């Protein structure tokens, strides 16, 4: 099992590596990264490990910033001296949250959880893939998405919108949960019902039911408000306003 450790304190790294050796001699620590900057650079050049151990408070900020700058898809065991971040940790591929100083038995339990989850989903992956299905017209009825080691099937009617950011495309469901996809927005357009979804601009592909308000905008443009809400303005260009209105009125 290939493991990466993100930790900015050398004594903590040494203790964790020693503890990992006691748990399983087959664990290979392939990298120790000590900052957000170093981690982002490493993941741009290297393949994803099997498991990631991540401290939260690093010398150059909170490690959650890493997820805004690179696409981490492997499961993560968070290691920290603080219990304030557990909820956010489990929103970012977290499968366990270990408080420092890390007890040997807690580490062993976390690794056992990883092994059990990996085995379960390996056995059931084929069934999950088949569950995606497609209706007779070739359009998707659901998407299979990954969170940590979990695979979740999301029905097309439960999707609010897709959006692109930092070369990553995300699916947002009607409850506001976000999942990273491997397709581009252009690919997604060809897979989903054009009656239900509209490409409002280069960043957003929106379900009609997610549009809560349509407002006039300077220079004959249109601004959309969606639910779940976003922090940026969603603007439809003057050139696409007529097409959007036709789509809304169909």
Stretch among 59-73, 88-102, 128-142, 202-216 having the lowest mean pLDDT: 128-142
CB 181 within 8 A of CB 148: no
Strand 159-165, strand 28-33: pairing: unpaired
Instruction: Tell me 103's DSSP state.
Output: P
Q: How far apart are CA 157 and CA 108, in angstroms?
A: 40
Is 132 among the domain residues? no
- Distance (Å, whole) CA 63 – CA 97: 14
Output 136 or 146, whichever has higher pLDDT: 146
Q: Is the pTM of this model over 0.95?
A: no
- Measured CA to CA, the distance from residue 244 to residue 240 in angstroms comes to 6
Q: Which domain holds residue 161?
A: 142-249
Q: What are the φ/ψ torsions at residue 192 (nearest 5 degrees)?
A: -120, 165
Count: domains in the chain: 2
Q: What CATH number does residue 162 fall under? A: 2.40.50.1020
| Residue 55 is assigned to a structural domain of this protein | yes
Same domain, 76 and 191: no
Q: pLDDT tens, 172-206?
A: 999 999 998 988 898 899 889 999 999 999 999 99
Among 92, 125, 158, give the residue marking a domain's end: 125
Residues 73, 93 contacting (CB under 8 angstroms): yes
Residue 107 C-alpha from the chain's centroid: 24
One domain for residues 204 and 154: yes
CB 22 within 8 A of CB 45: no
Mean pLDDT calculated for residue range 119-137: 55
- Asked if residue 152 is part of any domain, the answer here is yes
Q: 133 falls in which pLDDT band (50, 70, 90)?
A: very low
Angle value at C-alpha 116, between 70 and 11, nearest 5 degrees = 55
Cα angle for residues 236, 156, 244 (degrees, 5° grid) = 20
Structure tokens at 69: 């700058």
Q: Give, for 21, the enclosing helix (H) or strand (E).
A: helix 10-23
Contact, 56 vs 35, CB < 8 A?
no
One domain for residues 119 and 75: yes
Distance CA 92, CA 109 (A): 20
| Residues 46 and 152 grouped into a single domain | no
Which residues in 42-108 belong to E strands, given as ranges? 51-55, 57-58, 61-62, 76-80, 94-99
> Residue 189 and residue 156: Cα distance in Å, rounded?
13
- Of 92, 59, 61, the residue nearest 78 (C-alpha): 92
Determine, yes or no, domain membership for 52. Answer: yes
């Amino acid at each position: 099992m290939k493991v990466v450790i993100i930790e900015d304190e050398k004594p903590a790294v040494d203790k964790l590596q020693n503890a990992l050796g006691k748990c399983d001699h087959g664990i290979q620590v392939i990298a120790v990264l000590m900052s957000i900057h170093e981690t982002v650079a490493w993941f741009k050049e290297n393949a994803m490990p099997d498991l990631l151990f991540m401290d939260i408070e690093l010398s150059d900020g909170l490690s959650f910033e890493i997820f805004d700058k690179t696409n981490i898809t492997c499961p993560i065991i968070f290691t920290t001296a603080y219990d304030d971040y557990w909820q956010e940790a489990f929103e970012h591929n977290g499968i366990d949250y270990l408080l420092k100083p890390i007890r040997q038995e807690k580490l062993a339990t976390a690794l056992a959880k990883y092994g059990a989850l990996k085995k379960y989903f390996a056995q059931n992956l084929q069934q999950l893939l088949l569950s995606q299905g497609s209706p007779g017209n070739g359009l998707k009825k659901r998407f299979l998405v990954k969170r940590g080691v979990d695979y979740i099937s999301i029905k097309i009617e439960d999707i609010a919108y897709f959006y692109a950011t930092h070369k990553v495309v995300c699916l947002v469901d009607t409850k506001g949960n976000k999942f990273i996809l491997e397709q581009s927005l252009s690919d997604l357009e060809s897979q989903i019902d054009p009656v239900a979804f509209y490409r409002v601009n280069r960043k957003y592909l929106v379900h009609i039911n997610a549009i809560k308000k349509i407002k006039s905008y300077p220079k004959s443009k249109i601004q959309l408000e969606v639910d779940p809400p976003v922090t940026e303005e969603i603007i439809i260009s003057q050139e696409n306003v007529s097409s959007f209105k036709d789509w809304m009125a169909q």
